[in-house]
């Protein structure tokens, strides 16, 4: 299913000349991607203090949801940048957009399985540790993923 941004990119691609679309929109998506990247990276590995009035599980669920929203928006911005680039080029090779889509799908499976493995390791009488470690695992992997993808933003910036 295409996201709203992808639909907007397709519509813009049809309406605007490729050079205008690329110079204005790619920069906008690059700026948005940078902001979402920074938002993910500002979270600590363990943002939920033990002495908080909010139960740890509630806090971690909220933090994971916020990071997840920024992570998803970051990847969507990268997709839009690649779609704009793809629209302005003719190439027979596999596109950066297709590669990103495959890598993202594989990474999400990897994250789920690695964190499940970590969680399952601790289950067996130590459920509080398991819940804590599962959330921390996801936050760490989310941050590492954003760090890996962040360099993809720079080539899409227009030098002024």
Q: What is the pLDDT of residue 158?
A: 53
Mean pLDDT calculated for residue range 80-101: 84
In tens, the pLDDT along 12-66 reads 444 444 544 444 578 889 999 999 999 999 988 788 887 888 888 888 889 999 9
DSSP 100-124: HHHHHHHHHHHHHHHHHHHHHHHTT
Count of all residues that appear for the chain in the document = 160
In tens, the pLDDT along 99-147 reads 999 999 999 999 989 888 876 666 555 554 544 566 888 899 999 999 9
Ramachandran category for residue 91: left, alpha or beta (phi over 0 → left; psi -120 to 50 → alpha): beta
Query: What one-character DSSP code corresponds to residue 89?
Result: -
Instruction: Sketch the domain layout of the chain as residue ranges.
Output: 4-149
Q: What is the pLDDT of residue 88?
A: 77
Q: Is the pLDDT of residue 10 over 60?
A: no
């Amino acid at each position: 299913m295409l996201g709203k941004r992808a639909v907007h990119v397709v519509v813009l691609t049809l309406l605007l000349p490729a050079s205008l679309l690329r110079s204005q929109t790619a920069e906008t998506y690059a700026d948005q991607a940078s902001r979402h990247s920074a938002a993910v990276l500002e979270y600590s590995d363990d943002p939920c203090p033990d002495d908080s009035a909010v139960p740890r599980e509630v806090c971690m669920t909220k933090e994971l949801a916020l990071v997840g929203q920024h992570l998803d928006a970051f990847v969507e911005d990268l997709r839009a940048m690649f779609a704009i680039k793809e629209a302005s080029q003719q190439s027979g090779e596999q596109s950066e957009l297709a590669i990103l889509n495959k890598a993202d799908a594989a990474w999400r499976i990897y994250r789920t399985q690695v964190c499940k493995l970590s969680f399952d390791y601790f289950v067996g009488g130590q459920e509080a540790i398991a819940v804590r470690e599962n959330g921390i695992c996801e936050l760490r992997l989310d941050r590492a993923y954003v760090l890996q993808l962040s360099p993809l933003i720079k080539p899409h910036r227009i030098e002024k």
